[in-house]
Amino acid sequence: MTVHQGAHQGRVVTAAAARRRVLDANWPYQLLTFVVFATAWELYARERGGLLLPGFAETVLATAGLLTDAELWHALYVSNQALVLGFALALAVGVPAGIVLGRFRLLERYTDVYLNILLVTPMAAIIPLLVMSVGVGLTSRVLLVTVFSVVMVVVNCRAGVRQVDPSLIEMARSFGAGERQIWTRILLPGALPAVMTGVRLGIGRAVTGMVIVELLMVSDGLGGLILKYRGLLKAPQLYGSVLIILAEALLLISLAGWGERELTRWARTQTAGGTR
C-alpha cells in the first residue's frame, strides 16, 4: 500500500466515523422534526389561519419583541418565584419521604392511598381549595407547584430504593454493616438514578402547576400575561408567551437530564460492563 492510498483510506475511515456520529446523535432528527413542524405551521396559518392563528415567522418576530419587553421579564420573575420555592419544597419533602417509604414497607401501607389520590386527582380541582384555605398570593402558588411535582419525586425515589438488589443488603449485613452503612453505601447510591429521574419528571410537572394556577385562579406572572394577550386578541404575542414557557421548561428539563447523566455515570458504566 502506497502512502497516498493509506492517506486516502484514513480519510475515508474518518469521514465514515464522523457520519456515524452524526447519525447516532439526536439533534439531526430533532432539527428535522422542528423544520417540518415549523413549515407545516406556516403553511396552515397562511391557508386557514386568521386573526387568532399567526404564522410561524410572525410568532418568532413577536417572541423576539417580547424578549425586549420589561413586562415579560417581570412576569418571569413572578412566576419563577413560585416555581423555585415550590419545587425546592417538593424536593425537601419528596426525596426523604420516597426513600423512607421504599425502605419501610409498613409506612407505605398507611400512605400509599394518598399517593394514589395525588396521582389520579385532577390538579385543577385542588386550586380552589388551596386559594380558599391560604388565600390568593405567593403561598397558594408555591403550594400548588409543590403538590403538582412532589408525587413524581416520591414515587420515583420509592421505586429507586425498591430496585436495589436485596442480596447486596444481606451480604453487607453478613459482613457486619449497620443500618447507617447500608443507607450510605448501598441504598442511597443505588437509588440515585431513580431519584434523578424523579427530579427531571418533577420539574416538568412543576412548570405545569406554575402556569395552571396563574391561568385558572391567580392572574399573575406568565399566566396573567397569556390572559392579557388573549383578551386583547394579540395572537402573535400570545403564542410567543407560550413558546417562552416551553423554552424554559425544556431548558430546565435538559439541565436536570445533564445532572442525571453526570451523577449516575457510574451506573451506566457498570451496566455497559455487565452486558459485555
**pLDDT at residue 6 greater than cutoff 90:** no
pLDDT, tens digit, for every residue of 34-90?
Answer: 888 888 888 888 887 677 788 888 899 999 999 998 999 999 999 999 999 999 999
Q: Which of 59, 52, 73, 81 is nearest to 242 (CA)?
A: 59
| Residue 15, domain extent | 3-45
Q: Which helix (H) or strand (E) holds 264?
A: none
User: Same structural domain for residues 65 and 8?
Assistant: no
User: Same structural domain for residues 68 and 98?
Assistant: yes
Q: Which residue has the higher pLDDT, 5 or 181?
A: 181
Q: What's the gap between Cα 25 and its chain centre?
A: 21
Do 260 and 199 meet the contact criterion of CB atoms below 8 Å apart? yes
User: Same structural domain for residues 217 and 147?
Assistant: yes
User: Same structural domain for residues 162 and 264?
Assistant: yes
User: Same structural domain for residues 82 and 24?
Assistant: no
User: Same structural domain for residues 196 and 217?
Assistant: yes
User: Same structural domain for residues 126 and 180?
Assistant: yes
User: Same structural domain for residues 133 and 72?
Assistant: yes
Q: Which residue has the higher pLDDT, 18 or 120?
A: 120
User: Same structural domain for residues 63 and 15?
Assistant: no
Q: Which helix (H) or strand (E) holds 30?
A: helix 27-48
User: For the domain that residue 189 is a member of, what is the CATH number?
Assistant: 1.10.3720.10
What's the total number of domains in the chain? Answer: 2
pLDDT, tens digit, for every residue of 82-139?
Answer: 999 999 999 999 999 988 888 887 787 788 888 888 788 787 777 788 777 877 778 8
pTM recorded for the entire structure: 0.79
**Measured CA distances, 111 to 117, 149, 164 (Å):** 10, 17, 21
Residues of the chain above pLDDT 90, percent: 17
Residues of the chain above pLDDT 70, percent: 87
Do 244 and 66 meet the contact criterion of CB atoms below 8 Å apart? yes
- pLDDT attached to residue 275: 46
